[in-house]
Amino acid sequence: KPLLLVVDDNKDIIFNLKILLEKRGYEVITSTSGDKALKTLSTLSNAPDMIISDIMMPNMDGYDFFNAISTHSKWNQITFLFLTAKSTPEDIRLGKMLGADDYITKPFNEEDLIASVSGKISRKRKSELINDKVKDLLTSYQIEMQPSITEEDQLPFCLLVVFWDDIEGP
């Protein structure tokens, strides 16, 4: 089951989102503010597949929470969706410019939210599957390498292998 973290200061919204998402087969954990959500994340053994967060919350708003997530090495790959009442074009543009994976305004259509969540989770799973296959392929080669540069010159270099498929993507 994909794990979702829902962050909102409105307990009714948390309750309704939890029921909606669990009914669709997701495991849901909740928090009422960004700072509490960071504490929750630090206790988890595995990062959630997605975070759904409000913006207007006490103590730490959604923007600061997103910034904390996106600059943390363990959490910066978590899919992040803003679900908020901030609905002006400028608000939406700012959320997208910050790098959120999606931005949905309240009141929201349940099917639109589920479509976004399921699509993003599916894309993430496909990407992880491709990464695992590439890692397995690269580790299966038993290649003895004779470096062409000295050991001290090797440190600033790295090998980046990128594959692209017109259907699957990267």
Task: Please state, in angstroms and rounded to a whole number, the distance separating the CA atoms of residues 58 and 49.
Answer: 24
Q: Dihedral sign, CA of 21, 23, 29, 33? A: positive
pLDDT value at residue 91: 95
> Is 85's pLDDT higher than 90?
yes
Instruction: Look at residue 123 and tell me whether its pLDDT is greater than 70.
Output: yes
Polymer length of the chain: 170
Q: What is the pLDDT of residues 87-121, one digit of tens each?
A: 999 999 999 999 999 999 999 999 999 999 999 99
Among residues 120, 55, 53, 117, which one has the least CA distance to residue 86?
55
Q: How many degrees, rounded to 5, is the angle at CA 14 between CA 62 and CA 97?
A: 25
The Cα 113–Cα 105 span in angstroms is 10
Per-residue pLDDT, averaged over 134-148, amounts to 74
The string of pLDDT tens digits covering residues 38-55 is 999 999 999 999 999 999
Whether residue 68 is predicted with pLDDT greater than 80 in this model: the reply is yes
* Nearest by Cα to 114 from 47, 49, 48, 23: 23
pLDDT of the residue at 27: 97
Identity of residue 115? A
Supply the pLDDT for residue 132: 86
Residue 122 has pLDDT above 70, yes or no: yes
Rounded to two decimals, the pTM is 0.79
pLDDT at 50 (0 to 100): 98
Alpha-carbon gap, residue 101 to 117, rounded angstroms: 10
> What SS3 state is found at 26?
coil
- Which of 4, 69, 85, 3 is CA-nearest to residue 35? 69
What pLDDT, on a 0 to 100 scale, did the predictor assign at position 156?
63
Q: What is the pLDDT of residues 19-42, one digit of tens each?
A: 999 999 999 999 999 999 999 999
